């Protein structure tokens, strides 16, 4: 009797461990569900929207300008940020804010990306902390899941910002 109960317990623990490993690998290497908070990506992503962030593009170095990404915050490694890729390594980007009279530019260094929120007036992004290393990127947002009426793929930037590329 005791042996049978022990066998069932170990069997259950074995299945739990297997499914746990499968779930871990899926979320670590394929993608994850992310609940976004804050106004920085409005109107594309608003507070409490749930999105799916796929990780395959990050591993294959397929992140492009215009993509929305989830990355580790350069200020707090326990917090994630959701921003749009404005410049890749070697690109010339505008570093000044929308209300600045004089515009300043810089080049994105090798192995880094320039990120900005769609809501330029209410976003802490690369204009504040500079370009971020590619290693901080967790995934590319490809689908909005919640709210249901907004379900679907995410499109290009609603602001239509022009991005200059380096011609060296």
Residue 135: both structure tokens together: 């290693």
Annotated catalytic residue within 83, 123, 126, 144: 83
Q: Is 40 a catalytic residue?
A: yes
Annotated catalytic residue within 40, 53, 123, 126: 40
* Pairwise CA distance, residues 53 & 76, whole Å: 20
DSSP 55-80: SHHHHTT---TT-EEEEE-SS-TT-E
160 dihedral zone (left: phi>0; alpha: psi -120 to 50; beta) = left
Q: Is 103 a catalytic residue?
A: no
Are 136 and 125 within 8 A, CB to CB?
A: no
N-terminal to C-terminal alpha carbon distance within the chain: 77
Phi, psi (5° rounding) for residue 153?
-70, 155
Active site residues: 40, 83
């Amino acid at each position: 009797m005791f042996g049978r109960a022990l066998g069932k317990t170990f069997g259950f623990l074995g299945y739990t461990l297997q499914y746990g490993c499968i779930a871990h690998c899926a979320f670590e290497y394929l993608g994850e569900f992310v609940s976004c908070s804050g106004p920085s990506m409005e109107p594309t992503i608003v507070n409490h929207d749930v999105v799916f962030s796929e990780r395959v593009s990050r591993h294959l170095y397929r992140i492009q300008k215009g993509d929305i990404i989830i990355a580790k915050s350069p200020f707090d490694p326990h917090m994630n940020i959701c921003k749009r890729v404005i410049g890749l390594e070697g690109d010339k980007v505008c570093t000044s804010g929308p209300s600045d009279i004089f515009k300043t530019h810089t080049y994105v260094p090798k192995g880094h990306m320039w990120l900005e929120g769609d809501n330029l007036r209410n976003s802490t992004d690369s204009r504040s902390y500079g370009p971020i290393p590619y290693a901080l990127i967790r995934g590319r947002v490809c689908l909005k899941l919640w709210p249901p009426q907004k379900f679907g793929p995410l499109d290009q930037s609603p602001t239509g910002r022009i991005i200059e590329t380096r011609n060296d």
